[in-house]
A and B are shown apart, each in its own frame.
Chain A
Amino acid sequence: MATPKSLVAQLHRHWEIIEDLARASRDMPAFEERQVLAVIAKHQPRAGPEDHAAALRSLCNADLLQLLSRTSHLQLNPLVLEFVRGLTREHELGLSSVLKARVEAIRQATEQLREGLHRNDSDLMRRGAGRLSELFRQIGQQLDQDRHAILELAENAKAGDAAMPIDRRYQAVLEAYDQYVEPMNEMMDSGSDGTFYPYLVAAEQALDAATEVLSVRGALYTHRLQLRQVAYQAKELRRLGRVVAQQCADTLLPLREEARQHNQLSASISHLLGRVRKQGLARGLRRHGAQSKLPLWQRERRSRIHLGDEIRTLMAEARDYTPRPEAFPEELPADPADLSAWIDETELREALQAALPVHNLMTWLQQRYPTLPDAVVLRLYHDLVREPRWQAQLQPQTTTTDLKALRVHYHPHQLQPLPEDAAS
């Protein structure tokens, strides 16, 4: 066992190394010798291997590093580890049950104090007050450490890879909430279920009563002062407890809500998708209650102002307007729709099919049926180019053809057999 002085001196000399090892202790409780040497080498890059070994030896001699029993592994002295973590705010989240036990101990210490007061035993009173002071200090320290541990948990969860599944990312947060924040909230509850505040209030009252009794009795000033200081501690702890509980909940609650919402929403969506799969989209999304209507929005009502017919009549009367009679046009002569009077269309189509490829459909028609009137030729031309039995291709150059009474300027259509017909 090294002396405290040499331990502190070595801690001062090798602070960076110890800080590094303390941080690494979160993942690895004990280190191999070469791992420690690697850490030393990182911080003393200019020194040689002998110097590194010497540093390791001095760390072991000063009891900063201890050999784990039955192995050659080294671990940080637990006292040092606790101290360094406290200073660097690298604490793990404490156990809520430890906090609970300490809060429970407040009650016992308060009873001790009351007992001393009752029995007029100032020694017992001082012992009770001393225990209370020690408990308040421990609880305060733990609350402060836990607050930092929770902040770190939240930061890690938030800074984690966004692509990581949410369950894994927020696992630590959810655990911390259930195992720490919930029990702590229960304990800090200011209602009848909570223990923290009633015990603290009882302790404060007992301390105040004791101070008063001592001052009436004319006890030593130092005794009274000690009791009063403990009472201040209790008041401070009440404030700290409230702040820490609030801060922990504020930090973790949104993250927990996010994870919870995620689960609820994804479950809802999966459920609905299942319904849509079975019942189709329209029925799957159909509402049953008034609350669940598909999101709708209003599209512009094309509001235009028109004068009503009444106004038109009024204006017409005012201006003494007489509408000009407008005669409907006579019925136009019918389209030569009935082609059968002129030609046998089936026969024509077969003839055309046989004649394929036809370079210019118009001239082909004209030559084959020279007696047809122009309107019928043009009508046939338009019908035939749309026929799916052959392929009609519009030619790039224009042509002029004289029909009976008309001269037509047009891009002629060339007809070709369909590819599969050509192949067969």
Chain B
Amino acid sequence: MTDTPLALDRLTHLATLFRELGNGKHINRLSDPMLWAELEREEAAYRALFGALGYDLRLDGRGFAWFHTEEASGNVNKTSRQLALLFMVIFDTQADAGKPLLRFGDWAIDRSLLNTVHEQHQELLTAEGLDTEGLASLLETAARFGFAREAGGHWQLLPAVCRYLDHFEALAAESREASDEPAAAEDELDRDEPTASEDMR
């Protein structure tokens, strides 16, 4: 850490930022431009201050910040898992409709879209005990943690959702790598088979 003293008077939004971030919320450039601007401007100071308090402030260049942790309580884990499912089904539905996925900020997520999402993933969502209402309340949860916001009668996804998208890609890549080896083994088996049938003949 540098020896320069922290100019606390420059951190005009310190209290708000600390409260919001401490509540588990993601600060988005899009929805909290003032907070984001200050966070970006005084990044070093905030990082040092929050770091000294035991918080790991992370800023992502795509326009969002949060208090990072590797170990979270069971509650956060559960919420995060449910949000992951929510985003997966929304993105899958939109991909089926051919919408550009990386422009998720432009989607207006309303009841009719949630109904479509529910129809398309009924089996999966029922297994998790989620109906359209459940999806809507999950979106409210997402809004509480800064992944979405309500705007003009519908929800809008915020850049922080990128954390989930990154996660999905990493998870899928990992799972594909893991499944490559058994597939290679199956190939071996396939190749053996004709020899066996030839023997039989």
Binding site for B on A (CB under 8 A): 162-168, 258, 261-262, 264-273, 275-277, 280-282, 285, 287-289, 291-301
Contacts and interface: CB of A to CB of B under 8 A. Distances in A.
A253 to B, nearest CB: 14
Given A280-B127, A287-B171, A294 B91 contact: no
A201 B97 CA distance: 51
B171 A298 contact: no
Contacts of A296: 68-72, 76-77, 80
Contacts of A285: 81, 84, 171
A258 B100 contact: yes
A299 B80 contact: no
A280 B128 CA distance: 8
A162 B169 contact: no
23 contacts: A162-B100, A162-B103, A164-B98, A165-B97, A166-B98, A167-B98, A264-B169, A265-B91, A265-B95, A269-B95, A270-B95, A271-B176, A280-B127, A281-B85, A285-B171, A287-B174, A292-B167, A292-B171, A292-B174, A295-B164, A296-B72, A298-B24, A298-B72
Contact of B73 (A264, A272, A289, A299): A299
B22 interface: yes
A295 B127 contact: no
Interface in B1-46: 21-26
B92 A270 contact: yes
Interface of B: 21-26, 54-56, 66-73, 75-77, 80-82, 84-85, 88-89, 91-92, 95, 97-103, 106, 121, 123-124, 127-128, 145, 163-165, 167-176, 178
B72 A272 contact: no
A166 B100 contact: yes
A209 to B, nearest CB: 52
A273 B124 contact: yes
Contacts, number: 140
Main secondary structure of the interface of B (DSSP, over half): helix
A262 B95 contact: yes
Contacts of A163: 97-99
Contacts of A273: 88-89, 92, 121, 124
A261 B182 CA distance: 27
Nearest to B161: A295
Contacts of B168: 265, 268-269, 272
Q: Indicate the member of A261, A269, A292, A301 with the most B CB atoms within 10 Å.
A: A269
A166 B104 CA distance: 13
B169 to A, nearest CB: 5
Contact of A297 (B54, B72, B84): B72
B65 to A, nearest CB: 10
Nearest to A294: B80
3 closest A-B pairs by beta carbon, nearest first, are A165-B98, A268-B172, A266-B95
